[in-house]
Amino acid sequence: MKDHQVIGNDKLQGIAVSPGIIIGKARLVDRSREKIVYQYLIDDSEISKEVERFKEALDATKEQIVTLKNRMSDQIKEHAFILDTHLMIIDDSMITDSTINTILDQKINAEWALKKSVRKIRQLFEKIDYEYIRDRINDVENVAERILRNLSGKEMESLFEIDERVIIVAHDLSPADTSELNTSKVMGFITDVGGRTSHTAIMAQALKIPAVVGLESVTSLIQDGTLIIVDGYIGEVIIGPDDDTIIAYQEKEIQHERYRSSILQLSHLPSETVDGHKIAIKANIEFIEEVVAAKEYGAEGIGLYRTEFHYLQKKKIPDEEELFEAYKEVVEKISPAPVTIRTLDLGGDKILSNNESPGEANPALGLRSIRLCLKERDIFKSQLRAILRASAYGQIRLMFPMISGLQELLDAKQILKEVMDELEKENVKYDRDIKVGIMIEVPSAVTLADVLAKHVDFFSIGTNDLIQYALAIDRVNEHVAYLYEPYHPAVIRMIRQVVKVAKEADIDVSLCGEMAGDPLCVSILVGIGIDELSMNAGGVPLLKKIIRSISREEAMADLQDILALNTAKEVRQFIEKRIEPLMPDLQEKDFYMKVSIDKSTH
Ligand code: PEP
Ligand code: MG
């Protein structure tokens, strides 16, 4: 494999996920979850201290749970009983007395003694016939995990509080971590794990900070304070660079800046192929603040508003009023252009915090997105109310993510109808003709597209997840990142099928995965007949430039040749030959071409 290896004494190769070059001090942060517990024996003289340490951890855990409970918003207050249960667990003698007795009798450390207590409780619970009670072991384990963290004395370092200019080096960063980065201080980040379309990567682009992921062991190779260079165009990290190298990279960045401003001048020209076919180019946003940049870059609206980042940033479930204000601000700022607001897509790699994750074995296949919303109806309804209320202030389209079949769509629409009826009764203004659509990002939705099309106004193809699910490649796993292939013939055929079905059903169809902003993919998509692409705002000017230099007729003819190719490698080589002359001889080309060149070795 070409990725991830050390390619010089001091150079590492990872996956470039957010462009730009930064030179600065490394700041190592630990975001790992406390998982490994060791057993060790303690001397008689240390026993009472160990018991005390355990009691202090119990008190700290109680305090944290009470704080969590007090912070619960009104809508989820009814779930406060879960935290009450957790408080009761802490006080239960099966946890406290049993652990203390084990420390006293067996002279072992508190962590191990606690593990033993939990194991005993688990064995007892497993014998119980009632599923509900059996499942409560999860609560016990959740509490035990908190106690363990407190025993280790490790508070999670708040990334928001970092107050010097640094480059973050971490094993992993969750999208929630990334959302709290203070970008006036944090210049960028690099991680051991992660893939090109992980949400952490997408966030880095939204925050406009360079990032390289999938470096495998960078946290063990770099020390806190080391000077490093991060090249977010080609995924290189240079550790301890000499003066000449620093100057060379500074020059590269200056060249890039020059090139960017030349491209920006073109961003407000119409997005039209040379044979006069219009392709709407819109922006994906995660934060309200991005609307301004989207307009500056020449986006013709917001094609995907990923609403979950608002929840991640606040670290709690926001109330309806707060959501309404946020959506109203977005729609008013982008007006008269439209915004497609996607309902909550939490779960998978987007979780509020490690402590609150249900600990699923396969989060990407678990209780995420629309599934979570259909289960947590109050949270869902309050978001729908906020979106509908904001629809009175501009053009909003509403979109459900991760629909895998008709029933799920009908259930979601039924809840939407209930919310509309409520608003009607309350005489609250909203757009009664609001367009309702779905993301096509699960292979079953592709197969069933003709059925789904009868119930919606539009489709938006989410290739980040579609590729993940169709090719069985975890989008956040660096070990399989090299297989993540937008040029895979199966992916191209799926997109083609969805577009064909949408056109036959006469509904709008767009594409909003990372593939939309990949200059190498654009002619394939134009050839397929996509009329709208939505991407990271920063990618809009370059995409427009490419669209303005290709012909739709030629793209359609090329597509016939492409459909006759059997491997992703052949497709990529075909398209590279076509697009290379249109690509500038600069970093954007590095950024996109390097990804494909690396992949072509597989
Ligand atoms: C997608 O899956 O392609 C998509 C646009 O949504 P997200 O990246 O937020 O999962
Ligand atoms: Mg998705």
Residues 6+ apart with CB under 8 A from 155: none
Residue 373 known to be catalytic: no
- β partners of residue 481: none
Do the Cβ atoms of 267 and 247 come closer than 8 Å?
no
Residues 6+ apart with CB under 8 A from 125: 133, 134, 136, 137, 140
Whether residue 115 sits in one domain with residue 235 = no
Whether residue 117 sits in one domain with residue 170 = no
Whether residue 91 sits in one domain with residue 201 = no
| Ligand sitting nearest the alpha carbon of 200 | 1
Q: What is the distance in A from the centroid of ligand 2 to the CA of 546?
A: 25
Residue 39 included in any domain: no
Is the pLDDT at 228 greater than 70, yes or no? yes
Residue 588 included in any domain: yes
Task: Supply the pTM of this predicted model.
Answer: 0.73
Do the Cβ atoms of 315 and 353 come closer than 8 Å?
yes
Residue 214 included in any domain: yes
Residue 449 included in any domain: yes
Whether residue 275 sits in one domain with residue 377 = yes
Residue 341 is encoded by which pair of tokens? 């607001």
Do the Cβ atoms of 508 and 459 come closer than 8 Å?
yes
Residue 78 included in any domain: yes
Residue 169 included in any domain: yes
Spell out the long-range contacts of 328-333 with Cβ–Cβ below 8 A and sequence spacing 24 or more: 328/389, 328/390, 328/393, 329/288, 330/285, 330/288, 330/291, 330/302, 330/305, 330/390, 331/390, 331/391, 331/393, 331/394, 331/395, 331/396, 332/393, 332/394, 333/288, 333/291, 333/292, 333/295
CATH number of the domain enclosing 12: 3.50.30.10
Q: Residue 372 sits in which domain range?
A: 267-597
- Please choose, from the candidates 71, 69, 93, 70, the residue with its C-alpha nearest in 3D space to the C-alpha of residue 82: 69
Residue 86 known to be catalytic: no
Residue 80 is encoded by which pair of tokens? 């406060």
Residue 493 is encoded by which pair of tokens? 């055929």
CATH number of the domain enclosing 314: 3.20.20.60
User: Among 194, 220, 254, which residue terminates a domain?
Assistant: 254
CATH number of the domain enclosing 127: 1.10.274.10
> Which stretch of DSSP H or E encloses residue 331?
helix 320-334
User: Among 152, 178, 212, which residue terminates a domain?
Assistant: 152
Whether residue 208 sits in one domain with residue 86 = no
Whether residue 340 sits in one domain with residue 465 = yes
Side chain identity at residue 139, one-letter code: D
Cβ neighbours around 120 below 10 Å, total: 14
Whether residue 590 sits in one domain with residue 501 = yes
Whether residue 250 sits in one domain with residue 277 = no
Do the Cβ atoms of 114 and 99 come closer than 8 Å?
yes
Tokens 């629809």 — which residue?
A: 391
Whether residue 433 sits in one domain with residue 375 = yes
User: Among 152, 182, 212, which residue terminates a domain?
Assistant: 152
| Average pLDDT along the chain | 87
> Judging by DSSP bridges, how do beta strands 211-213 and 227-231 pair with one another?
unpaired
| Domain total of the chain | 3
CB of 348 closer than 6 A to ligand 1? no
Please state, in angstroms and rounded to a whole number, the distance separating the CA atoms of residues 460 and 472. 21
Q: What is the distance in A from the centroid of ligand 1 to the CA of 153?
A: 37
Is the pLDDT at 360 greater than 80, yes or no? no
CA 543 to chain centre: 22
Whether residue 183 sits in one domain with residue 119 = no
Please, which pLDDT band fits residue 77 given cuts at 50, 70 and 90? low
Q: What is the distance in A from the centroid of ligand 1 to the CA of 502?
A: 19
Whether residue 544 sits in one domain with residue 504 = yes
Residue 159 included in any domain: no
Span 147-195, pLDDT tens digits: 888 887 766 566 777 889 999 999 888 776 777 788 889 999 999 988 8
Whether residue 173 sits in one domain with residue 105 = no
**Of the candidate ranges 16-20, 258-262, 282-286, 349-353, the one whose mean pLDDT is the lowest:** 349-353
CB of 510 closer than 6 A to ligand 1? no
Residue 148 sits at the vertex; the CA angle it makes with 144 and 152, to the nearest 5 degrees, is 170
* Residue ID of nearest Cα to ligand 1 atom 7: 464
To test the pocket of ligand 1, the residue of 202, 306, 511 to mutate (highest count of ligand atoms within 8 Å of its CB) is 306
Is the pLDDT at 299 greater than 90, yes or no? yes
Residue 454 included in any domain: yes
